[in-house]
Amino acid sequence: MRKKIVAGNWKMNMDLAEGLKFAGSLEKYFKEKPAEKAQVILCPPFIHLAGISEIIKHGKIALGAQNCASDASGAYTGEVSAWMIKSTGAQYVILGHSERRTYYHEDDKLINKKTLLAINSGLKVIFCIGEVKSEREAGQHFLIVRRQLEEGLFSLTEEQIDMIVIAYEPVWAIGTGLTATPDQAQEMHKFIREQVKEKYGNDCAKKLPILYGGSCKPSNAAEIFSKPDVDGGLIGGAALKKEDFTAIAEAF
């Protein structure tokens, strides 16, 4: 059985006090009512990591960052390294998110470098891929995703792939209210698993969690998660509301 995961990407929301309070209320919720089937992961801004790490002591919630530097250490003003993230108690980092690709011009090569650094620092990587609207309309979505896998991920060894969770996030569905249909999600997740199988073999492909992201909410999560190759979700907007996020975590 593959691991089911619901990860909340808080993006650049909530100041420190608000973030700690919100994490505390989720910790209380999941301590009393653990998400039976899913690993819940919170991915707050960097400044929250150490504080939240102290709050989520019951082990029902895991912690991740939203990015890391592309170098291990040194004179890189304003950057936060994978090792620093690991030292807060976080276990995961999101890399390759479409907002990083678009606003900060991160390409597959850079994302690959960050991915290797993160893994070597002991972090699991939530590796995001997905096509933009015009690419889907032009029927290019499989090609784009294939390229992102090949250039961003496939230099990893089979052992390193164990540290990866893939998040398929069609960019046209992120924060737009548009969601891929469950069949569209399944079609792409199956494709991704086939690519991994071709490269790393069946055992590796079968173990790999592949999450869906893009306007996932309580009203659509159960149907999307019911698809055989969908192993959970990377949640943006709905991760900022306790009722929505907890409902999604229970949607399996």
Stretch that binds ligand PEP, among 16-24, 85-93, 187-195, 208-216 (CB under 6 A): 208-216
Q: Does 216 participate in binding ligand PEP (rule CB under 6 A)?
A: yes
Single out the residue of 38, 221, 236, 248 in contact with ligand PEP (rule: CB under 6 A).
Answer: 236
Q: Which of residues 158-187 bind ligand PEP (CB under 6 A)?
A: 169, 174-175
- Rounded to a whole number of angstroms, the CA Rg of the chain reads 17
Q: In the structure encoding, which two tokens stand for residue 224, read together?
A: 């999307």
Of 9 and 81, which has the nearer Cβ to ligand PEP? Answer: 9
Of 55 and 96, which has the nearer Cβ to ligand PEP? Answer: 96
Q: Which residues pair with 93 in a beta bridge?
A: 65, 125
Q: Does 213 participate in binding ligand PEP (rule CB under 6 A)?
A: yes
Instruction: Write the Ramachandran bin of 119: left for phi over 0, alpha for psi from -120 to 50, otherwise beta.
Output: alpha
Q: How far is it between the farthest Cα atoms of the chain?
A: 48
Q: In the structure encoding, which two tokens stand for residue 205, read together?
A: 């492909």
Single out the residue of 84, 192, 224, 235 in contact with ligand PEP (rule: CB under 6 A).
Answer: 235
Cα→Cα distances 151→144, 175, 201, Å: 11, 26, 18
Of 48 and 101, which has the nearer Cβ to ligand PEP? Answer: 101
In three-state secondary structure terms, 236 is: coil
Using CB under 6 A, list all residues that contact ligand PEP: 9, 169, 174-175, 213-216, 234-238
The residues assigned a catalytic role are: 97, 169
